């Protein structure tokens, strides 16, 4: 949920299609308040053998990040 919108934002703003991980890193530079959340998501992506659980706060952060990505992507 967090990396898809971040990836689309990076594509809109840079004109380059990037990976979800690169999109997440790009979004972390655009929205530093979400850097810790994005780091956790990227870490979970790198550890496919683990089954991360998301609590309600993490899900809310993902939705907030998605909204920020949409807002910025549609104003440029």
Residue 25: how many other CB atoms lie within 10 Å: 18
- The Cα 44–Cα 58 span in angstroms is 13
Rounded to two decimals, the pTM is: 0.85
pLDDT in tens, 8-54: 999 999 999 999 999 999 999 999 999 999 999 998 888 866 666 67
Q: How far apart are the first and last CA of the chain?
A: 22
Which range among 40-44, 49-53, 60-64, 72-76 has the greatest average pLDDT? 60-64
Residue 69 CB-density burial (10 A; 0-12 exposed, 13-18 middle, 19+ buried): buried
């Amino acid at each position: 949920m967090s990396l898809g919108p971040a990836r689309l934002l990076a594509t809109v703003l840079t004109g380059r299609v990037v990976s979800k991980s690169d999109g997440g890193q790009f979004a972390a530079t655009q929205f530093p308040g979400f850097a810790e959340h994005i780091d956790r998501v990227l870490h979970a992506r790198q550890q496919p053998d683990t089954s991360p659980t998301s609590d309600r706060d993490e899900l809310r952060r993902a939705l907030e990040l998605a909204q920020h990505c949409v807002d910025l992507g549609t104003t440029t």
